[in-house]
Amino acid sequence: MISLRNLRLVRGAKVLIESATLQIHAGWKVGLTGANGSGKSSLFAMLRDQLHPDQGDLDMPPAWVIAHVAQETPGLAQSAIGYVLDGDAELRRIEADLAAAECTGDDAHNGTHIGELHARLHEIDGYAARSRAASLLDGLGFSQSDIERPVADFSGGWRMRLNLAQALMCRSDLLLLDEPTNHLDLDAVIWLEAWLRDYRGTLLLISHDREFLDACVTHIAHIEQRKLTLYTGGYSDFERQRGERLIQQQALFEKQQRDIAHMEDYIHRFRAKATKARQAQSRIKALERMERIAAAHVDTPFSFAFRDAPPAPDPLLQIEDGAVGYGDKTVLEHITLTLRPGERVGLLGRNGAGKSTLIKLLAHELRLASGHRLEGKGLATGYFAQHQLETLRPDESALQHMVRLDSQIREQELRDYLGGFDFRGDGVGGTSTPATTPCGPFSGGEKSRLALALLIWQKPNLLLLDEPTNHLDLEMRHALTMALQDYEGAMVLVSHDRALLRTTCDRFLLVDDGRIQPFDGDLDDYRDWLAARRAEIAATVACPGQAADKATRKAGRAQAAADRQARLMARRPLMKEIEQIDKRLAVWNREKGEIEVRLADSALYTGQQAGEVPMLNKRLAELAQHIEEAELRWLELHETLETIPAN
C-alpha cells in the first residue's frame, strides 16, 4: 500500500501539493490528473525516490519493484527484442549467472547452484520470456522483421515505444506510466488498454485521454489548487463527482459569505456601544478563527473558435484511381475519394497502413504517382502534423509568429486571440505562457497549441489533422473538441483520441491492404475489427496455406466441391502436425518425469553420480522449453483448425 500523510511537495518557490493524505492499496489502478505544471510528474519522481517530500510522510513497501518508461533511448546496436528483455532485471541476472556457472567446473556445489537457477527461471516463467517480449512488440505495432533490428535504427517515436515495451516487460509491483499513448496510434492504444486491464500490480497513470482512463483505472487522484483528492471510478465518474463537490462547495461558500456579511454588519453597528462591545469582540475573534471556504473554480484557460472560412467549392477535392508512395514503393493505390464542404471524416487503420500518407497526399505534401487530382476553386487547406512543430522559429515568440502570419491586424487583436490558447501577457506569473516568450524552450503541449493557433487563424475550409492531441492536456483537448464541433468546413482526422473521433467525425474510412474503403460502423466495431484482424494474421503465420485458401474462396474461382477439397487439403497438414506434436510430447513428458524422479533421489548428489546433476538440470530445462513451445504450437494449430470447416 502507498500511504501519504500530511504531505507537502515544493519545487523551487512553487508549492505543488500540500496537506495531502490518502492511501492507494495494492492492485488499484489510479489515474493521476491535473493541469500541466500541477505536480503530476513530480509526484512520480517522489515515488521513484528522486524527490523527497518537504513535509509529511510517504510510505510504500520497500521490496516493491517499480517500473517506469525511460525518457531517453541511446542508439544501441542491441536488437529491439533484446532491449525489451532487459526490462526484466531478474531474468537477465539469472541468465548471466547461469552462463557463468556453466562455464566453470562441474563439482556438486556448482551443479546444485545451476539447478537452483533453472528452478528460479522456471518460477518466473523465464523460458517464455522471449515469447512475451515478442508479443509486447507486436501489440505496440512492431512487425516481425523489426524485432531483430538494432535499437539505433528506430526513430524517436518508435524508441519511445521500445521504452514502453521494456517497462511492461518488467514484472513490477508498481507501474508508473506518464502519457504512454502520446507516441501510439489507435490500434496500439486499444491493445495497451487491454494489457493494462489485465495487469495485476498497482498502476499509476498520467493520461489526457479520457476514454483510455475510463477503460484502465479504478480511481482518479486529481491535483487542483495544491490539493490532492482521490475519487472512486474512472474519469467520467470523477467528472460527475467533482461537479457535485464543486456545487456543494459553492453553496457552502455562498452560505459562509452571508454569515460573514451578517457578522461584519453586527460588528460595524455595535462595536462602539458599551452594552454590545463584548459580543462584537466575540464576533471579531470568530471571524479571525473561521476557516474560509474558497469559491468553486472551474474556469478553463482555453477559449477559441475557428474563424469564418471563405466560401467553399463543391466538391472541395477529388482523387480518381490514384496511387501514392515513396520512391518506388507504392503505399496506397486505386484511391477514389471525394471531399465535400462540411464533411467530417475519420481515418482508421492499423499502424503503417498509410493513414498519414493519405493525409500528406491531401495536403499536397506528396504527389500522385498515377491517377487524377482535381481541386475546387477556392480550396483553402489547413494541415496539422507533429513534424510541423519543428517549423516553428525557436527565437520568436507566439506573438511574433502571429505578426509574421498577418501583419495587417492590430497587435492587441492578436494578443486577444492568443489568450484563447493560454498565451497571455508579457511577464512571469500564473500558469499561462507569456505571449512574448521565445518558443524554443516550449514544451510539446505549448508548441502544439501555438501550431494550432497559427493554423486556425488562416481560415481553412478543408482541415487535415494528423494526431492533433499529442501533448495536449484534457482541458485543451476539450476546447479543441468544442471548436471542431462548431467548425463549418470539411475535416479529415487521424487520432488515437477516441473521444475526439466520436464527437467530431460523421463517417470513417478504413485504410488497409493498400486500399481505402468506407468503414460501416463505429469505434467499437473498429475495435472488434482489429481483434479479428490480429487473429487472422496469427492464423496466416501459423498456416500460410490458409490465406491462399481464403483468397480462393473470396474470389469465387472454385465450385462448392472444389472448396470442400481445398478445406480438406488445408486441414490435413495441420492434423498431421498435431499428431506428430502429440507423439513428441509423450516422449518428452516421459523423459521429463524420469529426470525429475532421479533429481528427487538424494543419492544422486553424493558420490560419482553428483557430476550428472548439471547435465540433468540442463536437460530438464531444455525439455521444459520444448514442451512449452510444442503446447503453444498445438493450441495455435487447433485454433486454426476451428476456422476451417470440416465439411
Q: Please give the distance of CA 558 from its chain centroid, rounded to a whole number.
A: 45
Residue identified by cell 476539450 is: 478
Q: Tell me: pLDDT of 261 over 80.
A: no
Domain boundaries, the chain: 1-61+202-233, 239-289, 317-525, 544-642
Question: In this structure, are residues 125 and 624 in contact, taking their beta carbons and an 8 Å threshold?
Answer: no
pLDDT digits (tens, 9 = 90+) for 133-162: 998 998 888 888 888 889 888 887 888 999
The reported pLDDT for the residue numbered 429 is 41
Cβ atoms of 349 and 533 within 8 Å: the answer is no
C-alpha grid cell, residue 24: 492507494
What H or E segment, with its residue span, contains residue 555? helix 544-555
Q: What is the DSSP letter of 311?
A: P
Per CATH, which fold does 317-525 belong to?
Answer: Rossmann fold (3.40.50)
492 has pLDDT over 90: yes
Task: Please name the amino acid found at residue 467.
Answer: E
Q: Shortest CA distance to 466 belongs to which of 581, 386, 378?
A: 386
C-alpha cell at 392: 516553428
Ordered strands of the 507-512 beta sheet? 381-384, 462-466, 490-494, 344-348, 507-512, 515-519
Which pairing describes strands 507-512 and 515-519: parallel, antiparallel, or unpaired? antiparallel
Whole-number Å distance between alpha carbons of 505 and 519: 12
Mean per-residue pLDDT for 250-278?
A: 67
Specify the pLDDT at position 566.
Answer: 64
Instruction: Please state the three-class secondary structure of 209-238 as a single string.
Output: CHHHHHHHCCEEEEEECCEEEEEECCHHHH
- Say yes or no to pLDDT of 401 above 60: yes
pLDDT at site 276: 56
Question: What is the model's pLDDT at position 201?
Answer: 92
Beta carbons of 569 and 576 less than 8 angstroms apart: no
pLDDT band at residue 253 under the 50/70/90 scheme? low
Across the range 505-530, mean pLDDT stands at 89
Quick one: average pLDDT of 235-245? Answer: 80
Residue 421: pLDDT band by 50, 70, 90 thresholds? confident
Tell me, what's the pLDDT at 317?
92
pLDDT level of residue 558 (50, 70, 90 thresholds): very low
- Predicted TM-score (pTM) of the model is 0.69
How many other C-beta atoms are found inside a 10 Å radius of the C-beta of residue 333?
17
pLDDT of residue 249: 65
Alpha helices in 332-388 (DSSP H): 355-362
Question: pLDDT per residue over 342-399, tens digit each?
Answer: 899 999 988 888 899 999 999 998 999 999 999 999 898 999 987 778 888 888 888 8
In angstroms, rounded to a whole number, what is the distance separating the alpha carbons of residues 33 and 219? 11
For the chain, give me the number of helices (H) and strands (E)? 20, 18
d(CA 213, CA 207): 7
Is residue 553 pLDDT above 60, yes or no?
Answer: no
CATH architecture of 1-61+202-233: 3-Layer(aba) Sandwich (3.40)
Report residue 203: phi and psi, to 5°. Answer: -115, 130
Range among 258-262, 331-335, 417-421, 638-642 rated most confident: 331-335
Domain 1-61+202-233 shares a fold with domain 317-525:
yes
Helix (H, G, I), strand (E, B) or coil at 202: strand
What pLDDT was estimated at residue 110?
73
pLDDT tens digits for 182-198?
888 888 899 999 999 99
Sheet of 227-232: strand order equals: 66-68, 174-178, 202-206, 29-34, 219-224, 227-232
Q: What is the mean pLDDT of residues 566-575?
A: 74
Q: Are strands 219-224 and 227-232 parallel, antiparallel or unpaired?
A: antiparallel
